[in-house]
Structure 1
């Protein structure tokens, strides 16, 4: 039975990948068909200048007295379909993680495959929540799903391991607290990293058919800042809990293990980003570059430190 559940978990994982790919394709279709923000503004101004029929003219002849409803833009339809598929993919993704835990009879965050999968799910869920609050940011979904799919591809190929028990050092209730919060916060911080990259591209001032389809630079900057504000306390809590677990497991709160050190460096860079973003003189590309550096440090910690550098965290590749 556990073997069958593990098989279903793997199939759900790859089904989620396929659905995310389809969602990304639809987002790409929406992006290619979407009018640029500048063109939309010009069209809107022109429509406002048009003179409509006077009240005495009545409805056009031959329509039976009923005014035709507005036609939905093809880009709008593609965008809605892409979001629906993203929601479906997140559901399949969550089911794969739950079944993985049931099959292994433990918390499903015991190796790099499971950890990376959780990061991807957290990023997708964070994006869907942001999209709920700011529907105008939907074109960014194309660029959010790209790193998610890259990470999932690596998780399902290079990092994949069969479901099974974990080493004794990870058989602790702290696993469900520390690793869940560090994976969730890492997934959340992936979204503002993408937004900061797009912000730097958007604020170049260049106008072309590709760049003008993105949200405004100020909207991208707000998206990155507000998401980081939410994720940073969770990341801080994860580091504190990790130190408590380290004291229980190894007899010290902090030992400057490579994983701990780089995680702390990432925390410092994110703190610097929040400080820079709140400082008037740095609310430009400088703060965005700091945010991108923080994401780069986090990804470096995820792969290079976990897989190349030997340390106390080498037994599972977890932080």
Structure 2
């Protein structure tokens, strides 16, 4: 069936709109951080205690909600608009191409980042976790920007090798696992940052103010661990499904293709993280660094292997 260019155009517009909305959310969160930092500095200044207290006829007004909290609530509300636009762009790309929208790197990154934001909405909805959102949006925005520029591929049919019912099964599972690992990697990075600024610290640096707005280190560590527990079997299942597809397409389950090899290495690194996280003496910083190494391996697999290294999985869709 021919490509529907009108729907494809609406899909691209929804994708660009999602980026704009995410940037707006990021700006609102930055204002929240700046307001909280300024407010803390003002609280450290000497203040007149009890000024005006006991004056006849004086009406005490209830304390207003902090300005930073209001900006944070606005950011979280606007975030849903961005996520909705993000999902619409994926759905419309599928309708435009009459196939599952995972045929090139642009579509893969769109799905993976959408998964990360959706998982963030589910896991970070609690007020105490909202300080993570600005840090989660940074890699999401970077990846979406690259997807919309360097990695962009127009709506088109997939290459003959990808015309299989295994495409939506294998690639969807892998992209969802990648999105989950993105959240896990950010959580481990913030965990290491939080350890450098422990609870109760009175550092006046900007970095200290940012760290104080994060959840406590143990909460971040638990979040990284739980999300990895979710992503590990999903990504492992994707590797197994890919091997089954390889057997039907190429006549062998495993051929040590660069994409297969690095995917397996990343999976092993995450297995090492889960083991280290449960091992005394490795539970904190050492395990976190292993988790970050797994995320770096995922990025290496996505960009270097897909773009630079030639192999049987060279379906990036780049010109």
Classify the TM-score, shorter chain. 0.7 to 0.9
Q: Look up the match of 2:17.
A: 15
Q: Look up the match of 1:47.
A: none
How far apart are residue 33 of structure 1 and its match?
Answer: 2.0
Q: Look up the match of 1:88.
A: 81
| In structure 2, C-alpha distance between the alignment counterparts of 1:274 and 1:135, rounded to whole Å | 27
| In structure 2, C-alpha distance between the alignment counterparts of 1:142 and 1:315, rounded to whole Å | 32
| In structure 1, C-alpha distance between the alignment counterparts of 2:102 and 2:89, rounded to whole Å | 12
For residue 137 of structure 1, give the secondary structure of its aligned residue in structure 2: helix
Structure 1 regions of 5+ residues with no counterpart? 44-49
TM-score (norm 1): 0.88
Q: Look up the match of 1:77.
A: 70
Q: Spell out, residue by residue over 1:245-287, the C-alpha distance to the aligned partner (whole angstroms, 9 max, x if none).
A: 1111111111110000000000000000011111121112000
Q: Look up the match of 2:251.
A: 251
Q: Look up the match of 2:47.
A: none
How far apart are residue 62 of structure 1 and its match?
Answer: 6.2
Q: Look up the match of 2:113.
A: 120
| In structure 2, C-alpha distance between the alignment counterparts of 1:265 and 1:231, rounded to whole Å | 15
| In structure 1, C-alpha distance between the alignment counterparts of 2:61 and 2:282, rounded to whole Å | 50
| In structure 2, C-alpha distance between the alignment counterparts of 1:81 and 1:175, rounded to whole Å | 38
Q: Spell out, residue by residue over 1:147-177, the C-alpha distance to the aligned partner (whole angstroms, 9 max, x if none).
A: 0000000000001111010011111111111
| Conservation of the 8 A alpha-carbon contact between 2:307 and 2:316 | no
| In structure 1, C-alpha distance between the alignment counterparts of 2:174 and 2:315, rounded to whole Å | 17
Counting matched residue pairs gives 298
| Conservation of the 8 A alpha-carbon contact between 1:307 and 1:317 | no
Q: Look up the match of 1:5.
A: 7
Structure 2 regions of 5+ residues with no counterpart? 45-49
| Conservation of the 8 A alpha-carbon contact between 2:109 and 2:144 | yes
Q: Look up the match of 2:136.
A: 144
- Is 1:309 paired with 2:302? no
Q: Look up the match of 1:280.
A: 280
